[in-house]
């Protein structure tokens, strides 16, 4: 298997899908001449030309609307947001048109659209550029929400998202773009809606996604030194949610910690806890514990920002609580 960075895995997925299907095109701010704000689209303009790799003005509402219209007439646009925070300016197109046109047309009009870009916090980008919006999008019927944590998942899930006949919100981790990992050679597709066991274990389940996968894995290593065998479940897709994988792990370990980057109130973790208490309550030996961002706008100060984020130490402390240790 090749070893690729997260950004190069995304680049490979875009290139392969654009080679496979002439209806696939990329559009967004700086995706062409500049090779993308995070270099995900490096080399695509040279290979595919300006009709399929399209630089746009700073006008998210406008170019997202163009993408929605293009999808409605049979093309497969990939719309890059420089950050998913900027997608707020296009929320009407995403929520009121893309998510609803298939339903409101009785299935006559589809919208095979991918809206992708980095989400959540990075390093000292301030409150307006550090927001995790996955629970917002997951609340909308008609949208799929995907959040890969590794290069292999990034490639396999993006290829599947581009081929999907529904609008997909594909949220990348800005702090993951330089991460390296093995990516399978050849055609690599990961079905949307399928979680992954990143680490098997027997004593406690840690459910996570995107940028909380790495701290969850680090927490599992620390817990192993204490004799606690943690299973790490990476959701990968927030909607549809892999309920079977979650419930199978709960039945196996009987204790659960849910870690997420976003805010706790009405967050992804709240949906996971609801599922567990409805479908697996009798499997639990302790209450489900959640780890999430502090309930504040993300601070700019680096010490406060670090304190506000979910990290390995907080996950370890939550596991101790779930396991009644110390």
- pLDDT classification of 317: cutoffs 50, 70, 90: very high
Extract the tokens encoding 94. 């995403």
Extract the tokens encoding 50. 């300006």
Superfamily of domain 2-183: Thiamin diphosphate (ThDP)-binding fold, Pyr/PP domains (3.40.50.970)
Q: Which of 54, 96, 103 is nearest to 79 (CA)?
A: 54
Residues of the chain with CATH 3.40.50.970: 2-183
Number of neighbouring beta carbons within 10 Å of residue 243: 15
Number of neighbouring beta carbons within 10 Å of residue 317: 16
Does pLDDT of 326 surpass 80? no
Options 17, 29, 60, 305, the catalytic residue: 60
Span 162-209, pLDDT tens digits: 999 999 999 999 999 999 999 998 899 999 999 999 999 999 999 999
Options 80, 129, 172, 261, the catalytic residue: 129
Does pLDDT of 248 surpass 80? yes
Percentage of residues in the chain with pLDDT exceeding 70?
Answer: 100
Q: Specify the fold of 196-322.
A: Rossmann fold (3.40.50)
Span 11-38, pLDDT tens digits: 999 999 999 999 999 999 999 999 999 9
- pLDDT classification of 1: cutoffs 50, 70, 90: confident
- Claim: this prediction has a pTM higher than 0.85: yes
Residue-level pLDDT at 199: 98
How far is residue 284's CA from residue 256's CA, in Å, rounded to a whole number?
Answer: 8
How far is residue 213's CA from residue 82's CA, in Å, rounded to a whole number?
Answer: 23
Total residues belonging to the chain: 326
Residues of the chain with CATH 3.40.50.920: 196-322
The yes-or-no answer on residue 60 being catalytic is yes
Token pair 């270099």 is at which residue? 39
The yes-or-no answer on residue 129 being catalytic is yes
Q: Is the peptide bond before 128 cis (omega within 30 degrees of 0)?
A: no
The residues facing 181 across adjacent strands are: 4
């Amino acid at each position: 298997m090749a070893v690729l960075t997260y950004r190069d895995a995304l680049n490979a997925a875009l290139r392969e899908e654009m080679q496979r299907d002439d209806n696939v095109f990329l559009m967004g701010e700086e995706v062409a001449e500049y090779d993308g704000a995070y270099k995900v689209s490096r080399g695509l303009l040279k290979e595919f030309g300006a009709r399929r790799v399209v630089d746009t003005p700073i006008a998210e509402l406008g170019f997202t609307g163009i993408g929605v219209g293009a999808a409605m007439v049979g093309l497969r646009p990939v719309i890059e947001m420089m950050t998913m925070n900027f997608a707020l300016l296009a929320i009407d197109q995403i929520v009121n048109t893309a998510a609803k046109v298939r339903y409101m047309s009785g299935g006559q009009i589809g919208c095979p659209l991918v809206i992708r870009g980095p989400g959540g916090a990075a390093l000292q980008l301030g409150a307006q550029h550090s927001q995790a919006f996955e629970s917002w999008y997951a609340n909308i019927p008609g949208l799929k929400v995907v959040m890969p944590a590794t290069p292999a998942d990034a490639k396999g899930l993006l290829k599947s998202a581009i081929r999907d006949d529904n609008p997909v919100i594909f949220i990348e981790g800005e702090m993951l773009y330089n991460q390296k990992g093995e990516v399978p050679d050849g055609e690599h597709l990961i079905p949307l809606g399928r979680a992954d066991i990143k680490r098997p274990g027997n004593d406690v389940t840690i459910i996570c996604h995107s940028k909380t996968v790495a701290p969850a894995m680090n927490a599992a290593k620390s817990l192993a030194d204490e004799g606690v065998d943690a299973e790490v479940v990476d959701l990968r897709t927030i909607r549809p949610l892999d309920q079977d994988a979650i419930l199978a792990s709960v039945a196996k370990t009987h204790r659960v910690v849910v870690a997420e980057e976003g805010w706790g109130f009405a967050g992804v973790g709240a949906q996971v806890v609801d599922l567990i208490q409805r479908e697996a309550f009798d499997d639990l030996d302790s209450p489900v514990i959640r780890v999430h961002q502090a309930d504040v706008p993300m601070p700019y100060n680096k010490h406060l920002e670090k304190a506000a984020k979910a990290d390995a130490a907080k996950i370890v402390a939550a596991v101790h609580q779930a396991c009644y240790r110390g």
